[in-house]
Amino acid sequence: MVTNLDAPAKAGLSIQTRAVGHWFDSKDGRLDVLDDVTIDVEPGEFVALLGPSGCGKSTLLRLIAGLEAPRTGKVGADKIRIVGPDPSRLLVFQDPTLYPWRTVRENVALGLEATGQIKGSQARIDQALDLVGLRDFAGALPNELSGGMAQRAALARVLVNNPRLLLLDEPLGKLDSLTRMTLQAELVKLWKDAGFTALLVTHDVEEALLLAQRILVFSPRPARVVREIRVGAAYPRHRDAPELQALRREILVSLGHDHEL
Amino acid sequence: MNSIAETDRFALLGASSQDKSAPILPPLWRGGLAAAAGWAVAASLTWFWPDLTPWARTDLLALLELGVTLLLAAVALSGGGRFALIHPYNRWFGALAGILTLWQVLTAKTGLLPLPFFPPPQSILEVYTDDAARLFESVWRSLFLLIPGYAIGGILGFTTGALIGWSKAANYWGHPVLRFVGPLPATAWLPIAFFFFPGSHSASTFLVGLATFFPVAVLTASGVKGVNSAYYDIARTLGGSERFLILKVAVPAALPNVFVGLFMGLGSSFAVLIIAEMMGVKAGLGWYLQWAQGWAAYANLYGALIVMALLFSGLISLLFFVRDRVLAWQKGIVRW
């Protein structure tokens, strides 16, 4: 496997949010999803946003991606206010959302095509496919892929653009547990090699502990940061490591799940 | 690298690799032989059983039936190969011989079904041999009306639908109009169209276009509106312009719907075409039907209906062939 894309390595982006509040207008009135969220993410850091399902973590990612503007507060990257989407900040969703009418290769080429860099980028696409181990499936259509392969293709589709920030919205949430473990390890490796900043939304405590250097625990909706936990363990981490087990217990308590099964 | 991927794909899809171990003797197509026997019976019956009143093309019919017999027999004896595709249809081949014979016995041979309403098959054959020029002209006059109208209606319908599906303003103004005017059958516009247009040809083209326009516009619009919003999010974060979003995301994602619209539009354009030809154009297959009815030439009527069925069914098959090519990525779509 190739370890890096041959483009100039850019440092990861830093992320700042200042007193971000956000809500949606529904027919039952205002639905608050984010409340006074102030966070800082260092360049190249791997941060997990952990919280109950539907608490508003995904909305925060959309704001940082620039797909929506916050109702109140500010969102910035490298201390510059985010006003719209940019290929340096890329999202990976829970569903691979590959375009079913395009082959794996054409899906990976999407960003280069959109920004007019497709000419002469074939080697770059090959490298991205190698990075996720899908070179042999370049000509396959998305509906011929397994869930894990499709999610790998979705990763290649963002990595080929050398993003400086990867916004991961429960990217492994729908995979079976074995594929999930494999991809967790691969994700850590990709992050270590490429040097981008990673922001992972998850409601899986173990996943957050395995992947992230820092975990921000969110309250139920409207989401507020209620806890910040540093995970000092070196990579590669093992899920049975005692220090992770202790942190796991601590996080579950802060989420209100301290009862034994 | 591509070849490896292709091989993997085929292995995944379970497609058989080329099997070279062919048996020494080609397998006999038994169903085909049985069908050939049926056609042999039909041919001899046509030839040896005299008509009640002699028909001009009875001998030709017998010869054609003999031809089908020999063809089927030859294919059956040659075994599989490229004709293997038609093997499952052996019962249809047999049934056609049966239907043809029954029809002939009830008409030409015994006269149980009254003339002129029930012409025997040989008289329809006579239409094709003796009135071929007129029929042929009718076919191309119909196509000449249908194709430009369908193309214009399809293109305008697609553009309008894409606009309505994409732009809020276009939707605000366009959607109510489509909802209000769309349900009107295009034939209802016929008197107005013939009044406003300089000639019956342009009026009919307009009507065919209208019949195609509405289903294509409505389905394209709903297709574009229904595109998974995450597809747009992906393209936007990757740096796609609005033009990119429309051409590379909205349109390909909506294409399955567009083809449903094109299919519905084709069906209603056939209806409009035939009525327009009957009412005003005085040419084409619709006109031919009316002309034949005027002369009580029922054999011509049935003959033209068969040609029309072949033509329209062929056009729909062509549309579906194009669709299957364009939408090869999609599986499990409605089959024709």
Question: What does the pLDDT look like over A46-96, one tens digit per residue?
Answer: 999 998 877 788 899 999 999 999 999 999 898 889 999 999 999 999 889
Q: Where are the domains of chain B?
A: 27-126, 132-326
Mean pLDDT score across all residues of chain B: 88
Rounded-to-integer distance, Cα B137 and Cα B103, Å: 29
The stretch B136-144 carries a mean pLDDT of 94
Strand partners, A89: A86, A165
Determine the pLDDT at residue A201: 93
Contact assignment for A114 to B244 by CB distance below 8 Å: yes
Residues of B in contact with A140 (CB under 8 A): 5, 8-9, 12
Q: How confident is the model at residue B14 (pLDDT cuts 50, 70, 90)?
A: very low
- The single-letter code of the amino acid at A249 is R
| B146-176 burial: b if 16+ Cβ within 10 Å, else e | beebbebbbebbbebbbbbbbeeebbeebbe
Q: Where are the domains of chain A?
A: 15-97+166-212+219-254
Q: How confident is the model at residue B299 (pLDDT cuts 50, 70, 90)?
A: very high
Q: Does residue B70 carry a pLDDT above 60? A: yes
Which of A93, A111, A139 is opposite residue B9, by nearest beta carbon? A139
CATH topology of domain B132-326: MetI-like fold (1.10.3720)
Tokens of A150: 């499709």
Q: Which residue has the higher pLDDT, B63 or A254?
A: B63
Q: Does residue B2 carry a pLDDT above 70? A: no
Q: Which residue has the higher pLDDT, A199 or B28?
A: A199
Q: How far is CA A46 from CA A40, A72, B205, B212, B317, in A?
A: 12, 26, 64, 55, 55
CB A47 within 8 A of CB A200: yes
Strand extents, DSSP E, A78-115: 80-81, 89-92
Determine the pLDDT at residue B249: 94
Contact assignment for A101 to B253 by CB distance below 8 Å: yes
Determine the pLDDT at residue B26: 63
Q: Could you write out the DSSP letters of every residue in B278-313?
A: IIII--HHHHHHHHHHHTT-HHHHHHHHHHHHHHHH
Mean pLDDT score across all residues of chain A: 87
Rounded-to-integer distance, Cα B57 and Cα B49, Å: 14
CB contact set of A24 (below 8 Å; sequence gap of 6+): A30, A31, A33
Q: Does residue A2 carry a pLDDT above 70? A: no
Q: Does residue B22 carry a pLDDT above 60? A: no
Determine the pLDDT at residue B21: 54
Q: How confident is the model at residue A223 (pLDDT cuts 50, 70, 90)?
A: confident
Dihedral of CA atoms A180, A181, A186, A191 in degrees, nearest 10, equals 90
Q: How confident is the model at residue B15 (pLDDT cuts 50, 70, 90)?
A: very low
Q: Is A248 exposed, middle or buried (0-12, 13-18, 19+ CB in 10 A)?
A: middle
Of A219, A186, A231, which Cα lies nearest the Cα of A48? Answer: A231
Determine the pLDDT at residue B10: 43
Homologous superfamily (CATH) of A15-97+166-212+219-254 is: P-loop containing nucleotide triphosphate hydrolases (3.40.50.300)
Q: How far is CA B332 from CA A97, A149, B13, B249, B315, in A?
A: 19, 22, 14, 21, 22
The stretch A103-125 carries a mean pLDDT of 90
Dihedral of CA atoms B260, B262, B268, B272 in degrees, nearest 10, equals 180
Which phi-psi region, left, alpha or beta, contains residue B282 (left: φ > 0; alpha: ψ -120 to 50)? left
Question: Does any CB of chain B come closer than 8 Å to the CB of residue A179?
Answer: no
Q: Does residue B185 carry a pLDDT above 80? A: yes
Q: Does residue B276 carry a pLDDT above 50? A: yes
HSE (side-chain half, CA atoms, 13 Å) at B21 = 2
Q: Does residue B282 carry a pLDDT above 50? A: yes
Tokens of B84: 């293997």
Inter-axis angle of helices B200-225 and B251-276, to 10 degrees?
Answer: 150
Contact assignment for B237 to A100 by CB distance below 8 Å: no
Q: How confident is the model at residue A260 (pLDDT cuts 50, 70, 90)?
A: low
Which of A66, A97, A139 is opposite residue B230, by nearest beta carbon? A97
Which of B 211-240 lie inside 8 A of A, CB atoms? Answer: 228, 230-231, 233-240
CB contact set of B271 (below 8 Å; sequence gap of 6+): B187, B211
The stretch A135-146 carries a mean pLDDT of 90
CB A175 within 8 A of CB A147: yes
The pLDDT tens digits for B169-182 are 999 999 999 999 98
Tokens of B191: 């008197």
The stretch A209-232 carries a mean pLDDT of 89
